[in-house]
Amino acid sequence: MIRDFCRCFHGGGDFDSTDVADRDPVVLVSGIGGSILNSKPKKFGLEIRVWVRIFLADLEFRKKLWSKYNPETGYTEPLDDSTEIVVPKDDYGLYAIDILDPSLLIKCLHLSDVHHFHDMIDMLVGCGYKKGTTLFGYGYDFRQSNRIGQLIDGLKERLETAYKASGGRKVNIISHSMGGLLVSCFISFHSDIFSRYVNKWITLATPFQGAPGCINDSILTGVQFVDGFKSYFFVSRWSMHQLLVECPSVYEMLANADFNWKKQPEIQVWRKHCNNGETSAELEIYGSNECVYLFEEALKNNELNYNGKTVDLPFNFAILEWAAGTRELLNKTQLPEGVSFYNIYGTSFDTPFDVRYGSESSPIDDLSEICHSTPQYSYVDGDGTVPSESAMADNFDAVERVGVKASHRGLLNNEKVFQLIKNWLGVPSKVKGRHSKTAKVMDMHIR
């Protein structure tokens, strides 16, 4: 495999040199699934992008990204023990969170589905931010826990870099989705460092109290990112499921059982019962605590075949225990004095909350059948992934909380969001913030 890198430079936006010099640095922090992940041989060899990719997506995903949680280290480790998962640091950390499949094919086809922070990066460059001086990105191995040392230390290093590169100016963080939980965990461990380096923290679509419908179903059946014929070119639901059951980050986004929900989230299962030769269907209901039993029973026979060997992947109680510690940490996090906090959350989209499996006419017999069934949801208001109720409940003294009519990923390229961010960052009104085509790192894989 040959990797060919090329850089393309295009015109910038409407700003002058004084505008560039008068910007406080910004660090963009991605969420789950929002960073490029590469597989790197431990001894020697070329890195291979395993997330995100369109060409040979499912094959490379199974070979290089399937993982197993190690309770001794707290890390999720690849089944291929000759490799490690790394996040590219090109373009001051922005490359990994910009276009998640930056291949030449995707660029030629103009597929915007894999654009992540791309439009926001362009907007900020158009407002006078300069990569490597006042604009940085932080992508990370999102399989791992939000409080694991690798992720916390990486964020600390990025904040220090941005602070020094800008001449000692305090940093403004913009986080998306689970990235907000990572920032919260960082505050719990390093409140003094956060206070020293950070001026403002703007978070988008963060599941502060969890994302009940999506996460419950992800643990039970996986995630289908695209439907129809496109699904043949991407990671399958089943392949993704085998990864997610071993990801601490996923368990950490289970519904907070201690949160005072307007209505407690539930998993409902239509079960088949036989009594004296007669068959009936009964609706079983599992709350936030009871669902652990359901997870255990549904996943008790879950396994995969890797290089001819059977790997058992039941519900992982070691991860659940770790995630409970993370939740306890998040519940106690306090915003340091002197840091301004802003919260943008999505509204007006049907967002999964309760999940139901089976039906009265076609009930579930053995709970393990759930893993191969189709979920049905009841919905609440939100961004399609995170309920507004959860995203609003940050428990911080926010300067502003604003609901925006946009989907979970749509918040990253929404004009109203951009206007809010520019106002909060103090971008002068004379700067139009025209989107500009910025320097990109493109890779091309040829077999």
Domain ranges in the chain are: 2-210+312-349+380-446
Mean of the pLDDT values across residues 181-201? 98
Q: Roughly how many angstroms between the first and final C-alpha of the chain, as a whole number?
A: 5
Q: Which tokens in the block code for residue 272?
A: 């088949």
Candidate from 203-217, 375-389, 433-447 with smallest mean pLDDT:
433-447
How many angstroms from the chain centroid is the CA of residue 100? Answer: 13
**In this model, does residue 227 exceed pLDDT 90?**
no
CA distance 42 to 61: 18
Instruction: Give one word for 155, left, alpha or beta, with left for phi > 0 and alpha for psi -120 to 50.
Output: alpha
Candidate from 59-63, 393-397, 440-444 with smallest mean pLDDT:
440-444
Q: What is the DSSP letter of 335?
A: P
177 is catalytic: yes
Q: Which pLDDT tens digit goes with each residue over 90-126?
A: 999 999 999 999 988 777 777 778 899 999 999 999 9
Candidate from 106-115, 124-133, 344-353 with smallest mean pLDDT:
106-115
Q: Is 173 helix (H, G, I), strand (E, B) or coil?
A: strand
Q: Which pLDDT band holds residue 275 (cuts at 50, 70, 90)?
A: confident
Catalytic residue among 101, 141, 354, 383: 383
CA distance 244 to 219: 6
CA distance 14 to 10: 13
CA distance 181 to 184: 5
**In this model, does residue 432 exceed pLDDT 70?**
no
- Mean pLDDT, the chain, whole residue set: 91
User: Which residues contact residue 328 at a Cβ distance below 8 angstroms, ignoring those fewer than 6 apart?
Assistant: none
CA distance 25 to 425: 10
Q: Which pLDDT band holds residue 228 (cuts at 50, 70, 90)?
A: low
8 Å CB contact between 37 and 51: yes
CA distance 56 to 48: 12
8 Å CB contact between 253 and 181: yes
Q: Which tokens in the block code for residue 10?
A: 């295009």
Q: Which tokens in the block code for residue 22?
A: 């008068």
Residue 26: φ, ψ to 5° = -120, 135
CA distance 356 to 217: 9
Q: Which pLDDT tens digit goes with each residue over 34-68?
A: 999 999 999 988 999 999 998 889 999 999 999 99
CA distance 201 to 343: 9
**In this model, does residue 2 exceed pLDDT 50?**
no
pLDDT of residue 445: 33
Helix (H) or strand (E) holding 78: strand 75-78
In 334-357, which positions are buried (b, 16+ CB within 10 angstroms) versus exposed (e)?
Answer: ebbeebbbbbbbbbebebbbbbbb
Rg (CA), the chain: 22
Mean of the pLDDT values across residues 157-169? 97
Q: Please tell me which residue, 406 or 14, carries the higher pLDDT value.
A: 406
Query: What separation in angstroms does the CA of 253 have from each of 22, 32, 271, 386?
Result: 38, 10, 27, 10
CATH for 2-210+312-349+380-446?
Answer: 3.40.50.1820
Helix residue ranges, H only, 63-134: 104-109, 118-126
CA distance 338 to 190: 15
Residue 412: φ, ψ to 5° = -80, -10
Q: Which DSSP string corresponds to 349-399?
A: EEEEEEEEES-SSS-BSSGGGGGGS--EEEEEEEBSSSBHHHHH---S--S
408 is catalytic: yes
CA distance 117 to 115: 7
Beta strands in 118-222 (DSSP E): 135-138, 171-176, 198-204
**In this model, does residue 300 exceed pLDDT 70?**
yes
372 is catalytic: no
8 Å CB contact between 337 and 195: yes
Q: Which pLDDT tens digit goes with each residue over 200-222?
A: 999 999 999 999 999 999 999 99
Mean of the pLDDT values across residues 424-438? 70
CA distance 361 to 77: 42
Q: Which pLDDT band holds residue 447 (cuts at 50, 70, 90)?
A: very low
Instruction: Give one word for 200, left, alpha or beta, with left for phi > 0 and alpha for psi -120 to 50.
Output: beta
CA distance 31 to 39: 19
Mean of the pLDDT values across residues 222-246? 84
Residue closest to 27 by CA, chosen among 113, 124, 99: 124
pLDDT of residue 229: 61
CA distance 8 to 369: 50
Mean of the pLDDT values across residues 143-168? 98
Mean of the pLDDT values across residues 378-401? 98
Catalytic residue among 39, 67, 177, 184: 177
CA distance 131 to 137: 9
Catalytic residue among 115, 118, 241, 408: 408
Residue in the structure block whose two tokens are 């999102």:
142
CA distance 303 to 300: 9
